[in-house]
Amino acid sequence: MTDRLYPGGTQGKPEKSPKEERPVKHGLAFLSLLFAAAFLLIHAPWAAADTITGYTPIFRAGHDTSGTLQVAIRQFKQNGLPRFLIVNPATFATATVKESELDFSRQVASATLQATPYLRTLDRHTAPPYLLQNHGARHADQPVNGVFLTIDMCPSSRPFEREFFATVARLPQGERGPVPVAVAMTGRWLQQHPKELAWIKELTVTGRLAITWVNHSLTHPFDPKAPLEHNFLLKPGTDSERELLATEVLLLENDLLPGPYFRFPGLVADGRLIRRVRELGLIPIGADAWLAKGETPGKGSFILVHGNGNEPPGIKKALTLFTSGQLHLLPLDRAFTAPASP
Ligand SMILES: [Zn+2]
């Protein structure tokens, strides 16, 4: 009986066998491995949790290592190393590069820069008269054979539209390449949904979705009782500079690349905000087919739905439209730029 309960015997102090010491040694080895892994995660250059510091807006044209004209719009340090966020003014593609990889020594004439699709689009969509709601690009600037899907991720505690993302990723056009969508992300949603974000990111890593990340502010202020003039980013006490820039930092820290676009929360802004967004090199993205509001998309439409679970009727409508196979989705850049040459 005693032997069964206390193997090895309890009469007096049992002798330690080599077998019994093993777990202790294993424990120590495991601990040192854990410390080593933690050290690597913090210090390795490929670590997922990159630290961005000194995030500063700039606006400076230069040439990359292939001699292509680029516009640096942000300067920052990533894990202590100086870098730029750059926009290709012909294609609107963004990238981050080492500071040393951008050459400012060759003069870029102001007229040359102003004539690029990027600068022309920035100017066109930030010019007065300023609309309180839906200022900016609402439709393609040129004839296109398709539509643009923009999915807003405002802060929400509801389950996000996982099935919708999965359905879009499975659309028949996906057989010819990743399905293009624009996701308007708030910093708050991103911070509060790390697992969901990782799941969305996986759809891009596996080549099923090509996401253009649109900045949709950090906290997306909203007061259900306030008039539009004092609501969203116009809500008194809003730190607009933080709202405009902090989400880009969070995207970069999550290894996601912000596009040169901004979607105003509630699509609401005033002249001051619109001018500031212009200075920051961001094109305001409105919509002409907010599905939950009963608007119907046509060719070139910017479709707006909420992917955060806050507006199921819009998602339902979108699913009907997309699964009927009538709509071909295009990447947001194509609303403003010529198709990439084959
Ligand atoms: Zn929103």
Q: What's the whole-number mean pLDDT along residues 175-183?
A: 96
SS3 breakdown of the chain: % helix, strand, coil, rounded to 5? Answer: 35, 25, 40
Predicted confidence (pLDDT) per residue in 241-294, tens digit: 999 999 999 999 999 999 999 999 999 999 999 999 999 999 999 999 999 999
Averaged confidence pLDDT in the chain: 89
d(CA 261, CA 283): 5
**d(CA 265, ligand 1 centre) in Å:** 4
Predicted confidence (pLDDT) per residue in 83-137, tens digit: 999 999 999 999 999 999 999 999 999 999 999 999 999 999 999 999 999 999 9
CB 204 within 8 A of CB 249: no
**d(CA 92, ligand 1 centre) in Å:** 23
Predicted confidence (pLDDT) per residue in 192-201, tens digit: 999 999 999 9
**d(CA 278, ligand 1 centre) in Å:** 20
**d(CA 154, ligand 1 centre) in Å:** 4
**d(CA 115, ligand 1 centre) in Å:** 32
**d(CA 333, ligand 1 centre) in Å:** 21
Q: Over 80: is that where the pLDDT of 8 sits?
A: no
CB 262 within 8 A of CB 285: yes
Q: Over 50: is that where the pLDDT of 24 sits?
A: no
The CA angle 305-320-331, to the nearest 5 degrees, is 50
Predicted confidence (pLDDT) per residue in 51-72, tens digit: 999 999 999 999 999 999 999 9
pLDDT of residue 339: 74
* Closest alpha carbon to 210 in 219, 218, 200, 220: 200
**d(CA 152, ligand 1 centre) in Å:** 6
**d(CA 307, ligand 1 centre) in Å:** 10
**And the tokens for 289?**
């087919």
**d(CA 104, ligand 1 centre) in Å:** 37
| Beta-strand pair 69-78/81-87 | antiparallel
pTM of the model: 0.85
CB 258 within 8 A of CB 248: yes
Q: Over 90: is that where the pLDDT of 301 sits?
A: yes
Alpha helix (H) ranges present in 125-261? 162-169, 187-192, 194-205, 240-253
Residue type for position 140: A
Asked if omega into 143 is within 30° of 0 (cis), the reply is no
pLDDT of residue 45: 39
Residues belonging to the chain: 342
Sheet of strand 81-87, all strands in order from the earlier edge strand to the far edge: 52-63, 69-78, 81-87, 94-98
CATH superfamily of 126-335: Glycoside hydrolase/deacetylase (3.20.20.370)
Domain ranges of the chain: 52-107, 126-335
> Sorting pLDDT into bands at 50, 70 and 90, what band is 49?
low
Q: Over 50: is that where the pLDDT of 15 sits?
A: no
Q: What is the DSSP letter of 229?
A: G
